[in-house]
């Protein structure tokens, strides 16, 4: 499997785990020193796997209201030891899509290759301001 296919599979598996509320799989293949800039505060982002872990339970709770979290497009660029990917996801509830049908979560992921495994070191999640 080439690097771009491996990274695509990693991100697609992560998105399925997010939708399923599977915290262990969400955290898998993430660096101990991950940095994430997310939609909700803190504005300066979260740093480290422990802080990253703490962001997910509230999201899972919101998602249980019937929200979707589905990748619509995903592009991956991989070098020898670093890579990035960007994606658009349908992320929201029926009520949110009724108000803004084109609502999409923008995702950017930075990765580094540790040995023969790709590891997520950075995530950025955002919505366009309406």
pLDDT digits (tens, 9 = 90+) for 3-58: 999 999 999 999 999 999 999 999 999 999 999 999 988 889 999 999 999 999 99
pTM listed for this prediction: 0.94
φ/ψ of residue 25, rounded to 5 = -75, -35
- Please choose, from the candidates 70, 71, 68, the residue with its C-alpha nearest in 3D space to the C-alpha of residue 92: 68
Predicted confidence band of residue 124 (pLDDT cuts 50, 70, 90): very high
């Amino acid at each position: 499997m080439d690097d771009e296919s491996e990274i695509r599979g990693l991100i697609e598996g992560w998105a399925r785990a997010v939708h399923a509320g599977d915290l262990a799989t969400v955290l898998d293949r993430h660096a101990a020193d991950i940095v994430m800039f997310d939609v909700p505060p803190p504005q300066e982002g979260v740093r480290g796997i422990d802080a990253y872990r703490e962001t997910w339970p509230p999201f899972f709770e919101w998602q249980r209201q019937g929200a979707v979290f589905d990748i619509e497009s995903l592009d991956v660029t991989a070098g020898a030891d670093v890579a990035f990917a960007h994606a658009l996801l349908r992320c929201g509830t029926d009520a949110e899509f009724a108000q803004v049908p084109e609502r999409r979560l923008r995702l950017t992921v930075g990765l580094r290759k540790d040995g023969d495994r790709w590891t997520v070191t950075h995530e950025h999640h955002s919505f366009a301001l309406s």
